[in-house]
């Protein structure tokens, strides 16, 4: 099933959500000059300019910092319910950045509205940890929670979710772990092709309002990043078209229902839509939601643009439907 979510147009740029344009007008300027470089790339600057300070819309949610088989994580719960669900969240950031802190408020809100446990995994980042170490961290954390009876939830109601590169790692976990672990997975604007191969095509005509300056900026902001991700994330440990790193090339399914939420003005949009079509053609259970008037990483703007909260509520509904 496909759904399109509309938006409140900005007076200054009607192609975009008004709250997004307002935020962009007042956000801090990007910074440069961090001396930290790895493999000749400005990793410090990249990390400094990812994410934003969003808002806490939750109430009554406890936060615990835990170590899961050597992997750091944060756990959120409104109250222990042995019959409730558990969702493991894997944050994005191009495999080299992002943080559990940026995703904390969406995770806390999800814990509140589902009454379940949410585990926000602080996996090691590239380039200091190359593929598959990042994926291995996520799997270790998930398995540690599933086998530890001190974590109170129904093991039949375990879910995965992630945004951007984190959604890519979700799909890698689904491919690596045995079928039956998860009742479903939620993917926010997933990276599904690091090879930039023949299964999808980027074209400016896909983007309503082109050549509006902000449309051009948002639709191309990630364009050409694939070689950099190959260099920093893969480091020669896998081919760019290997299904574990570019899941669009996987011939089979992923063993559970998927919900894909993505943005209209995102360079990744055509590959996400091609990925969903390939899954549907194979009979996989996949629902897609397109958010008009938004760009990549809109979940970072939780409590700032209304669609971010709405998307978490739709994630909660997905969990209730499949749990």
CATH code of 75's domain: 3.40.50.1820
**How many whole angstroms separate alpha carbon 314 and alpha carbon 319?**
9
What is the per-residue DSSP string for 205-234?
Answer: GGSTTTT-HHHHHHHHTTTT-HHHHIIIII
**How many whole angstroms separate alpha carbon 191 and alpha carbon 275?**
10
The tokens of 89 are what?
Answer: 């969240």
**How many whole angstroms separate alpha carbon 194 and alpha carbon 106?**
27
Question: What is the block-wise mean pLDDT of the chain (323 residues), using blocks of 10 residues?
Answer: 97 98 95 96 97 96 98 95 96 98 98 97 98 98 97 97 98 94 98 96 96 97 97 98 98 96 98 98 97 98 98 98 95
126 CB-near residues (< 8 Å, 6+ apart): 95, 96, 134, 232, 233, 235
Longest dimension (CA), the chain: 55
Nearest to 177, CA basis, from 227, 136, 224: 136
pLDDT of 178: 85
Name the pairing type of β-strands 86-90 and 184-188: unpaired
The answer to whether 255 and 174 are in contact (CB under 8 A) is yes
**How many whole angstroms separate alpha carbon 287 and alpha carbon 158?**
18
Number of domains in the chain: 1
Distances (CA, A) of 38 to 44, 50, 131, 133, 154: 9, 17, 15, 17, 42
Domain that holds residue 74: 2-28+35-322
């Amino acid at each position: 099933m496909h759904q399109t979510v509309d938006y409140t147009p900005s007076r200054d740029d009607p192609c975009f959500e008004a709250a997004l344009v307002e935020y962009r007008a007042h956000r801090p300027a990007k910074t440069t000059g961090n001396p930290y470089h790895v493999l000749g790339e400005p990793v410090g600057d990249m990390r400094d300019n990812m994410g934003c300070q969003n808002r806490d819309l939750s109430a009554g949610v406890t936060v615990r910092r835990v170590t899961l088989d050597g992997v750091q994580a944060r756990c959120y719960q409104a109250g222990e319910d042995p019959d409730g669900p558990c969702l493991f969240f894997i944050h994005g950031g191009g495999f080299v950045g992002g943080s559990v802190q940026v995703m904390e408020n969406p995770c806390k809100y999800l814990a509140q509205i589902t009454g379940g446990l949410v585990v926000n995994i602080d996996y090691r980042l590239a380039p200091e940890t190359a593929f598959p170490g990042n994926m291995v961290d996520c799997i270790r954390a998930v398995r540690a929670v599933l086998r530890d009876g001190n974590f109170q939830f129904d093991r039949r109601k375990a879910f995965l979710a992630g945004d951007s590169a984190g959604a890519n790692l979700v799909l890698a976990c689904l491919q690596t772990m045995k079928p039956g672990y998860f009742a479903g997975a939620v993917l926010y604007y997933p990276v599904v092709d690091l090879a930039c191969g023949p299964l999808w095509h980027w074209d400016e005509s896909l983007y309503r309002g082109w050549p509006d300056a902000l449309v051009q900026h948002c639709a191309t902001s990630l364009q050409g990043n694939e070689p950099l991700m190959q260099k920093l994330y893969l480091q020669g440990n896998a081919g760019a078209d290997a299904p574990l790193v570019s899941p669009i090339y996987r011939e089979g399914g992923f063993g559970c229902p998927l919900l894909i939420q993505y943005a209209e003005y995102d360079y990744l949009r055509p590959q996400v839509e091609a990925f969903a079509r390939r899954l549907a053609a194979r009979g996989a259970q996949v629902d897609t939601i397109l958010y008009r008037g938004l760009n990549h990483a809109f979940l970072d703007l939780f409590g700032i643009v209304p669609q971010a909260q709405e998307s978490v509520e739709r994630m909660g509904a997905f969990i209730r439907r499949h749990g």
